[in-house]
Structure 1
Amino acid sequence: MLQMITGSNFFCNSKAKAVFKITGEDAFSFLQGQFSNDLRTPVGGATYGLWLNQKGKVVADSVLLRIAENEFLAFSNHSLASVIQQRLQDYLVADEVNLSDETISYDRLIISGAGCGALIKDFVKSELRVGQFIQWGDLFVVPGGQLPFENYTVIGPQKSLASWCDQWVARGWVEGSELAWDWARIAAGVPAIPDDLGPTDLPQEGGLEVGVIAYNKGCYLGQEVMARLKNLGQVRRRLHVVRGRGAPPARLAVLYQGGKKIGELRSIAQHQEGFVALAMLALINLNARAGLGLTPTGPATIWLGAHE
């Protein structure tokens, strides 16, 4: 399954989970005080980060595209629009900010494969790097920075994306399913927000302490907890890639090692050889070489695996 993503030219077309336009004379200052990452980027910047609560726990995630000084487009691949909207509206008091939910108008196209960047450059007549985006007509083209292979996300109206899909097929790209993409994401150890990392979890427990959390931009919601964790050291739990054969257990199934509860499963993807999953595991007394069981006394049927 992973070979389909990394070893072939692949695209996947689906609905965007959340898309917002954020404008107004206070748009930048408001978002800078709410978002976990630093938005002091030039126009054309694309920044991935989190929406945290007061305790530093993860509410949702987004990629923020800076279209103008006080105009942003925010989208999320996994977090729901209603959750992001509520999180932002809870802290909109006297700010001159307009928050417009555009989710219904946008679809999402994911593209990967050797040479996809060169082909996109040929389409849009511009070279893109991680941390940038380009607006091409009514499409927003964004290089992906989390997965360990070349990939791009394109956000735009369904009709425009359908036209792009036809062009990719004509050039030999294969349309695949979100299941294949999920397998690649999980195998790479990249959490989906909030399925793998949510309101009971800290960003550091999902390996998101680097490149997603800003430690020197000033105050934002959850910033004090982030600074304290950075200064004091390790978290007690962490997401791990795990694997097993046969039918996968249910999501949130409890995992045991040495007769004691040690964690739970989060995202799971299956194919004919078995399954790969992300599991939130306690670090104290975890034996990475020993297997994990689904009951305190049952056999080990799940094993920790290296990120691919």
Structure 2
Amino acid sequence: MSESFYAILTDRAVIRVSGPDRVSFLQGLVSNNIENISATRSGYGALLTPQGKFLFDFFVYQQDEDSLLIECERGENGERAAELFKKLRMYKLRAKAELTDVTDSYDVIAVFGKDALTNLFTDTTAGTTGRIADGIKVVDPRLTALGARILLPKNELAEMAAIGATESTIEAYHKMRVSLGVPNGSDDLEIEKSILLENGFEELGGVDFKKGCYMGQELTARTKYRGLVRKRLLPITIDGPSPDAGTIIMNGDKEAGTIRSVHGNVGLALIRLERVGDDAQLHAGDAKITVSVPDWVQLPETAA
């Protein structure tokens, strides 16, 4: 039996960027190389403050020869997508680009499980992109273990049955994502505070260090080349009462990190690398905390 599941990600929004300057407009803002986006390749990146701190992360797809689609965090009442739309419009200035909120036109779907990619793609390289019915299918550009992302026009969910995927829940998807150590926007990153390289963006393909200037590039580059990463967002397992996001993780009487999000008995936490070793005894409130390091995470040699 095929082990492939899908969940409709109702926490996502879609913004269309069209017009002749769409690529150059985004290229000067986004941490990844927008020039690489094509009908066969999608990407993941972030918009930062001028000081290099996190504002938004998102996926970028090519809709057609004149349009790109930005799939982004929606927010509880759509406020995060509205804030991104407003920010992009502010920076557009005289660029020949048009912004349109097309969230109501699409279902954003995650396909995950052992057979998620083999049922959809022959090439399972991260970022590989193709068509599915009137929509777009993508091997998750961050990590192939996350499966695929699909953008389908509304009312085309019959395609999910056609690929042999069983309906699951958004919570099941996020629990899987967290167990792999992958962040999800402002659920796990602090707005105007978080630094990309502390949150896995280099390994997850969210930063291009060769593309040239973009907003916030200086801090991102300095963090990499001066080896300034002292914290990392890592998956945790919780044994005991579930702590809230924001709870401090202690190692004895010293702070070892901060919980960012919790899904069942797993979560993500920003961990101070010098405070976590084989002899660490971590707790958050009355819960015992165990930190793991996914295979894809590259820790500094002094912390490995």
Residue-by-residue CA offset, 1:33-77 (whole Å, 9 max, x unaligned): 011001222631201111111111111111111345552111125
Deviation at 1:99, TM superposition (A): 0.6
Matched, 1:178 2:174: no
Distance in 1 (alpha carbons) for counterparts of 2:50 and 2:175: 32
Distance in 2 (alpha carbons) for counterparts of 1:145 and 1:18: 18
Distance in 1 (alpha carbons) for counterparts of 2:234 and 2:68: 33
| Structure 2 residue runs without a partner (length 5+) | 296-304
Matches within 5 A, 1:237-248: 237-248=231-242
Contact map agreement 1:291 1:304 (CA 8 A) in 2: no
Moved more, 208-217 or 286-295: 286-295
What residue in structure 2 maps to residue 201 of structure 1? 194
Distance in 1 (alpha carbons) for counterparts of 2:146 and 2:251: 37
What residue in structure 1 maps to residue 32 of structure 2? 37
The one of 34, 45, 48 equivalent to 2:44 is 48
Matches within 5 A, 1:1-308: 8-15=3-10, 17-41=12-36, 43-44=38-39, 45-68=41-64, 70-76=66-72, 80-121=80-121, 129-149=125-145, 151-161=147-157, 163-168=158-163, 171=164, 173-199=165-191, 200-210=193-203, 211-270=205-264, 275-294=265-284, 301-307=288-294
Q: 1:288 to 1:183 in 2, by over 3 A?
A: farther
Q: 1:111 to 1:220 in 2, by over 3 A?
A: same
Q: 1:85 to 1:282 in 2, by over 3 A?
A: same
Distance in 2 (alpha carbons) for counterparts of 1:285 and 1:151: 33
Contact map agreement 1:78 1:193 (CA 8 A) in 2: no
Residue-by-residue CA offset, 1:136-195 (whole Å, 9 max, x unaligned): 44311111143453611111223112x123334xx4x33211221111111111111121
Distance in 1 (alpha carbons) for counterparts of 2:97 and 2:260: 35
Paired positions, count? 287
Distance in 1 (alpha carbons) for counterparts of 2:111 and 2:232: 29
Q: Percent identity?
A: 28
Q: 1:28 to 1:244 in 2, by over 3 A?
A: same
**TM-score, normalised relative to structure 1:** 0.84
Contact map agreement 2:262 2:268 (CA 8 A) in 1: yes
Distance in 1 (alpha carbons) for counterparts of 2:11 and 2:152: 9
Distance in 2 (alpha carbons) for counterparts of 1:230 and 1:245: 34
Q: Secondary structure at the match of 1:54?
A: coil
Distance in 2 (alpha carbons) for counterparts of 1:137 and 1:55: 42
Q: 1:73 to 1:89 in 2, by over 3 A?
A: same
Distance in 2 (alpha carbons) for counterparts of 1:145 and 1:293: 33
Distance in 1 (alpha carbons) for counterparts of 2:241 and 2:287: 15
Q: Secondary structure at the match of 2:187?
A: coil
Distance in 2 (alpha carbons) for counterparts of 1:254 and 1:54: 29
Contact map agreement 1:257 1:293 (CA 8 A) in 2: yes
What residue in structure 2 maps to residue 3 of structure 1? none
Distance in 2 (alpha carbons) for counterparts of 1:10 and 1:259: 43
